[in-house]
């Protein structure tokens, strides 16, 4: 339901089933909180020293595997690349560093900091990519 609920911040209200466990409800809320008006304001970020296994853990915990890679492993660090499910789905060496499989910054679609959502979506649509970053050199929100 988090996939559906991610759309709800754009509308009034939201739905979390009361029949779910408290842990499941909290997980769904966490997933939805990462989404706001199309921008992911607090993306999950790792560094080049992390492994494919770390990305798999992110997928297990949050339900997605699109992870930004920065020099510090933190939001605001210099963007180095991005890892998505396409980069790791068929990998069998989970101990491999993500720097070896990530899409480097030069191949990512980026936009200037502070770009309007409508304009960011137009750039993303024209690029035919799934994700874009709103950055000059430091990682800030993802689209």
List pLDDT tens digits, range 44-101: 999 999 999 999 999 888 888 789 999 999 988 999 999 988 889 888 999 999 999 9
For residue 66, how many other CB atoms are within 10 A of its CB?
A: 20
8 A C-beta contact, residue 16 and residue 28 = yes
pTM: 0.64
Q: Please say whether the dihedral angle defined by the alpha carbons of residues 9, 14, 16 and 22, taken in this order, is positive or negative.
A: positive
Residue of 123 and 48 predicted with greater confidence? 48
Q: Which of 43, 20, 19, 21 is nearest to 31 (CA)?
A: 43
For residue range 12-48, what is the model confidence (pLDDT) as tens digits? 456 677 788 888 888 777 766 555 457 777 889 999 9
Strand partners, 51: 97
**Beta-strand (E) ranges in the chain?**
45-46, 67-70, 79-83, 103-104, 110-111, 133-134
Q: What gap in Å lies between CA 142 and CA 38, rounded to an integer?
A: 8
């Amino acid at each position: 339901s988090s996939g559906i609920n991610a759309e709800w911040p754009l509308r009034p209200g939201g739905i979390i089933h009361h029949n779910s466990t408290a842990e499941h409800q909290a997980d769904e809320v966490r997933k939805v909180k990462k989404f706001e008006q199309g921008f992911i304001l607090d993306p999950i970020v790792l560094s080049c020293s992390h492994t494919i296994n770390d990305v798999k853990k992110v997928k297990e915990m949050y339900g997605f595997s699109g992870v930004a890679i920065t020099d510090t492993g933190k939001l605001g660090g210099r963007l180095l690349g991005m890892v998505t499910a396409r980069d790791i789905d068929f990998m069998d060496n989970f101990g491999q560093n993500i720097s070896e499989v990530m899409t480097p910054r030069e191949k990512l679609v980026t936009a200037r900091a502070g770009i309007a959502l409508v304009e960011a979506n137009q750039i993303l649509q024209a690029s035919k990519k799934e994700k874009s970053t709103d950055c000059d050199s430091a990682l800030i929100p993802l689209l």
